[in-house]
Amino acid sequence: MTEERQSRQGGREATIAPDDDGIRLDRWFRRHHPAVTHGLLEKLLRKGEVRLDGKRARAADRVIAGQAVRLPPQVIHARAPESAALPAAAKPMGSLADRILYMDKHVIVLDKPPGLATQGGSGLSKHVDGMLDSLKFERGTRPKLVHRLDRDTSGVLLVARTAQSASGLAEALRHRDASKVYWALVAGVPPQKHGIIKAALAKEGGHGPHGRDERMAVSQEDDAKFALTEYAVMGTAGSEFTWVAARPVTGRTHQIRVHLASLGTPIVGDFKYGGADVRGRGDIADRLHLHARSIDIGRPDGGRLQVTAPLPPHMVKSWQLLGFDPDDRRDPFPAKKKSRPGSEAVAQRKTRPASDSMARKKKR
């Protein structure tokens, strides 16, 4: 049970209970103060009004049993909306609230779990798009998907809270005013520590029911679509496995999966594109090891939105087994700042010399 007492600075102070040891600070607030919205919590953290052991904290920080959380009056007097006041057992099934990484009046950023499809399709009864009613909150407006992730890919997923925000975020993606970084575990070692893969992609027909065997492939046919991915080696485990960060400049279906496989380094667990069978390799799960780690995108109201998603459990186990740091904060694609009128400094990718890993298709 969480204990609370009066704080000398006003408000109250709560002690982290053993049952809450190791969870994220924002998750702790959802458990014990459900009336505090994610937006309010972020605001209080930025102002330093919510603190851990007297120090500034972030929503993603992990709490430790025995730590003291300062609760300002805004937390104590927050009023719960009817949906938040329901006990856990009474809440509607299919809520995405526990997967929120960030939320403001324009956008919600979700941490999509692996195995959950973004949109519906043949034989799919559960998907993110079908669960968005659970994210209406006080607005009463159904949010809209801005982009999608493959079913077995986890991580950062943008959801717009208004039609105007959806249009603005989609425009930022369309004009490449966004940088998405993915983490992957691949079999083997890529030819370069930093490289650029330029390889056009085309769809190959599938023979299974509902096109289930359909896949993308590197192609030089006229109907192939240009695709470019930048990658960086973050760590290696001998010559058997490599931790790769990938930044897709274009957004083609299965782009990262096909491009990494084209180097002879398929993603672990990606059997559609030649992923190695890792059964019997300890804690390395026989599942897709591809995670949308972070996004940096122009906000609808100006400035930048930067969000990072933690690795899913099966990838954390693999990282720990191979001696990699699942909380690594290195920037694999350093950028230089460029000012834009009416907004804060916007990150622009540095031009880095690198030979192409694959040849771009020839124009006829």
| CA separation for the pair 238, 268 (Å, rounded) | 15
The tally of CA atoms less than 13 A away on the side-chain side of residue 356 is: 9
| CA separation for the pair 354, 264 (Å, rounded) | 18
Say if strands 154-160 and 290-298 run parallel, antiparallel, or are unpaired: parallel
CB atoms within 10 A of CB 216: 21
Which three-class secondary structure state does DSSP give residue 179?
strand
Backbone φ and ψ of 317, nearest 5°: -60, -40
Is residue 244 within 8 Å of residue 176, measured between CB atoms? no
Is residue 274 within 8 Å of residue 191, measured between CB atoms? no
| CA separation for the pair 306, 61 (Å, rounded) | 16
Say if strands 12-15 and 154-160 run parallel, antiparallel, or are unpaired: unpaired
Helical segments of 48-136, H only: 73-76, 82-85
**Is 111 tagged catalytic?**
no
Amino acid making up residue 328: D
Question: Residue 273 to residues 18, 210, 218: CA-CA distances in angstroms?
Answer: 44, 19, 11
Is residue 131 within 8 Å of residue 95, measured between CB atoms? yes
Listed residue (107, 172, 170, 112) closest to 135, CA to CA: 107
Catalytic member of 111, 150, 152, 296:
150
Instruction: Please report where in the chains the tokens 């490599």 appear, as a residue.
Output: 242
Residues carrying an active site annotation: 150
